[in-house]
Amino acid sequence: MSDGEPDRRINAFPELSDSVSVMSSATRDNLFPDIPIFACLAKTPVVKSLDAPDVKDFRGKLDTGTKLCLLAEHVVADRFGLERIDRSRWVTVNDLGNNGVRTMGEIKLHVLVRSRTKWLEVPFQVLPDSHVKYRYDALMCDKFIKRLGILVLSPEYQ
């Protein structure tokens, strides 16, 4: 933090024991499959058909416990273009990597989960592939999951 730059270090995950993995689909002894997520750029008019050329799909992990939605660089590069990232909105995620991981910035997407009919605008922080290493496409935050009612969290995890 020099020259008046704001502190952009955040903790994306709640305090968890070392025995709980937030990077797999097997947290808290529950198995949740990755779900298909359909998305288009937030500045694109939302189309009515999932078959439209602007709508891209990727896999979202639901049981991550993260406070913000995280998207892998390879998803952005392959589907939307790296130039779409707002690089001024980066943060450093303290609880990833040895010294935290600086995101590449933020991308806002209109998102639809197959079982729903309403598109939601969701901001994602983009994680570099050097950290992700193709382990996942997206980690969906608890706020998104709760908003859609996809999973019902027991009181101890809310």
Query: What does 116-140 look like in DSSP terms, one character per residue?
Result: ----EEEEEEEEPHHHHTTS-SEE-
Higher pLDDT, 154 or 114: 114
Domain assignment present for 153: no
| Over residues 70-81, mean pLDDT | 94
Question: For residue 78, is pLDDT > 90?
Answer: yes
Domain assignment present for 3: no
Q: Read off the pLDDT of residues 90-123 as tens digits, 9 standing for 90 and up.
A: 999 887 777 888 999 999 999 888 666 778 889 9
Domain assignment present for 25: no
Domain assignment present for 128: yes
% of the chain exceeding 70 in pLDDT? 64
- pLDDT value of residue 1: 46
Most confident region among 127-131, 144-148, 152-156 by mean pLDDT: 127-131
What order of strands is seen across the sheet that includes strand 92-93?
9-10, 92-93, 101-102
Q: Which domain holds residue 107?
A: 31-44+52-146
Domain assignment present for 116: yes
Mean pLDDT, the chain, rounded, equals 76
Measured CA to CA, the distance from residue 46 to residue 32 in angstroms comes to 28
Domain assignment present for 94: yes
Higher pLDDT, 17 or 145: 145
The domain tally of the chain equals 1
H or E, element range at 59? strand 56-61
| Over residues 73-81, mean pLDDT | 95
Domain assignment present for 78: yes
The domain that holds 142 is classified in CATH as 2.40.70.10
| Over residues 38-65, mean pLDDT | 78
Measured CA to CA, the distance from residue 124 to residue 91 in angstroms comes to 11
Given phi > 0 = left and psi -120 to 50 = alpha, else beta, which region is 27? Answer: beta
Domain assignment present for 158: no
